[in-house]
Amino acid sequence: MAKYSTRQRKALALFLSEHPDESFSAVQIASALEPERISLSAVYRNLGELVSQGVICRTQQDNSREILYRYTQAESCRMHLHLACSRCGKTFHMDVPGTDRLIEQVAENADFRVDRSSTVLHGVCGNCMQSAGDSS
């Protein structure tokens, strides 16, 4: 797999690596790369490859059946958990002290090895809380 370096392949990899904190759907990527003229199927096929290479990871929003893709190659991305706002869909790094300790505790207490790169905590980000005046 991935023997040739095509215009489409390069554009896709570049785009994702330039947005390490964001998750995109295949359609979003295709339209962002419209100037590069990539077909949706090429996007899907190349995303699949990148996923199996571990360069990016798949996630999903809770009430959509879209699959989202996020660059995880960057050191900084693999070490953090991520936070996803269920209102605006943005993804954030979770740079919170004590996270590692909790993950260790989970391993000891619950006999479960958490995979940092694929787990995403859901909730509402500050921006959305504010703009919605929501305090429930």
User: Where does this chain bind its own copies (CB under 8 A)?
Assistant: 58-60, 62-63, 65, 67, 83, 85-86, 92, 94-99, 101-102, 105-106, 109-115, 118-126, 129
Find out whether 53 and 12 touch, Cβ atoms under 8 Å: no
Parallel, antiparallel or unpaired: strands 91-94 and 56-60 = unpaired
127 binds DNA (CB under 7 A): no
Q: How is the beta sheet containing 23-25 ordered, strand by strand?
A: 23-25, 67-71, 56-60
Binding part of the chain for DNA, among 42-50, 78-86, 98-106, 110-118 by CB under 7 A, reads: 42-50
| Residue of 29, 23, 27 whose CA lies nearest to 90 | 23
| Residue of 78, 67, 99, 97 whose CA lies nearest to 21 | 78
Q: Which is nearer to its own copies, 21 or 36 (CB)?
A: 21
Q: Which is nearer to its own copies, 14 or 88 (CB)?
A: 88
Binding part of the chain for DNA, among 45-53, 79-87, 90-98, 111-119 by CB under 7 A, reads: 45-53
